[in-house]
């Protein structure tokens, strides 16, 4: 079976995440120790013990999810065959790049700490918003955004499933669009509790600041192709890693197409590595052609390894 490893993004965090893996596996403990050292603080304690309010801050959430995801990856990689592809949702693309060998763990931890901080600072609190539009075709979501935006920013930010598209932009535009999405046939419009309107033009101030960080990072040859958010196709070129990460800041996450591209390339199993099962749910809503496993703690690892081993 051709396997792809998937890495979650922001929104998958929960107090206690990664603790089971750290207690049970030295590979996981080594990842948490390396991230703590890179940031000069005990981020692992925040993952394991909270408080939830501090964990929810974007500047903390992003390196915390990266740490847990890569702890899960370290444990998995020591016990399972190498994947055909890796991919990550938004922030998760950094985890995927570490798994592919393109970025070092310490560099990635510092980069996503900066990324999270810059995203938090890009838009004054209350001026931006995001909402999930459920049950409406993505093309119609984009059409409503164009019709409603006016002088404001409003655009699709995450193409998560064929019937779930997240929009981002000015809070007033997101609010204005709600009734229009429903008129167009949406089943529900769900405001998201986020600290910034990610993956839209309002994130433009992040790009030059993040570029200065990423330009100082050594990008190494990729050992496995990364299916990128921006292009929804596999990239194996080290020279394209940083440009794609910078484009990702303001471009939508094309997750539906990422999943479809991996399935078309012959992937029959996807393993979500990291906290929660958000991506597993998105994959199930996009394709029934793949087996989906997840690894977030010792119990789920055992179950996933048993599935890979077969009868």
Indicate the domain borders of the chain: 2-122+203-309, 128-194
Identify the pLDDT of residue 101.
Answer: 98
Identify the pLDDT of residue 194.
Answer: 86
- Which regions in the chain score pLDDT beneath 50? none
Give the residue carrying structure tokens 């940031």: 39
Is 199 part of the annotated catalytic residue set? yes
Identify the pLDDT of residue 141.
Answer: 98
Q: What is the dotted CATH code of the domain comprising 2-122+203-309?
A: 3.40.366.10
Give me the catalytic one of 44, 199, 225, 287: 199
Is 90 part of the annotated catalytic residue set? yes
Identify the pLDDT of residue 178.
Answer: 98
Check whether domain 128-194 has CATH 3.40.50.2300, yes or no: no
Quick one: tokens of 187?
């089943």
Distances (CA, A) of 215 to 130, 221, 243: 29, 16, 10
Identify the pLDDT of residue 98.
Answer: 98
- pTM of the prediction? 0.97
Decide if 2-122+203-309 and 128-194 have a common fold: no
Give me the catalytic one of 44, 90, 114, 287: 90
> 260 with 270: CB under 8 angstroms?
no
What are φ and ψ of residue 151, in 5° steps?
-85, -5
3-class SS of residue 17: coil
> 17 with 68: CB under 8 angstroms?
yes
Q: Rg of the Cα trace of the chain?
A: 18
Quick one: tokens of 124?
């004054």
Helix intervals (H) in the chain:
19-24, 26-39, 43-49, 52-55, 58-77, 92-99, 105-122, 138-149, 171-183, 206-214, 241-250, 255-264, 278-286, 298-309
DSSP summary character for residue 275 = S
């Amino acid at each position: 079976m051709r396997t792809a490893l998937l890495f979650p993004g922001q929104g998958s965090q929960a107090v206690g995440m990664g603790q089971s893996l750290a207690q049970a596996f030295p590979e996981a403990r080594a990842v948490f120790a390396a991230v703590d050292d890179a940031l000069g603080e005990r981020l692992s304690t925040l993952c394991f013990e909270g408080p939830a309010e501090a964990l929810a801050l974007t500047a903390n959430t992003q390196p915390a999810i990266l740490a847990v995801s890569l702890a899960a990856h370290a444990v998995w990689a020591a016990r399972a065959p190498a994947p055909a592809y890796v991919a990550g949702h938004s922030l998760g693309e950094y985890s995927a790049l570490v798994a592919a060998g393109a970025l070092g763990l310490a560099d990635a931890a510092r980069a996503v700490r900066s990324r999270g901080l810059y995203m938090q600072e890009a838009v004054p609190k209350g001026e931006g918003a995001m909402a999930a539009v459920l049950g409406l075709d993505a093309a119609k979501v984009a059409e409503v955004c164009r019709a409603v935006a006016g002088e404001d920013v409003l655009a699709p930010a995450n193409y998560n499933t064929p019937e779930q598209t997240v929009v981002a932009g000015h809070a007033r535009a997101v609010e204005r669009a709600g009734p229009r999405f429903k008129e167009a046939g949406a089943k529900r419009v769900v405001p998201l509790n986020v600290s910034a309107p990610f993956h839209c033009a309002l994130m433009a101030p992040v790009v030059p600041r993040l570029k200065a960080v990423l330009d100082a990072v050594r990008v190494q040859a990729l050992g496995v192709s990364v299916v990128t958010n921006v292009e929804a196709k596999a990239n194996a070129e080290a020279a394209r890693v940083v440009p794609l990460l910078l484009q990702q800041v303001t471009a939508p996450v094309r997750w539906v197409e990422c999943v479809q591209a991996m399935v078309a390339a012959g992937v029959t199993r996807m393993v979500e590595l990291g906290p929660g099962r958000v991506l597993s749910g998105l994959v199930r809503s996009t394709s029934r052609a793949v087996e989906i496993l997840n690894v977030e703690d010792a119990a789920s690892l055992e179950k996933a390894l048993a599935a890979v081993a077969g009868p």
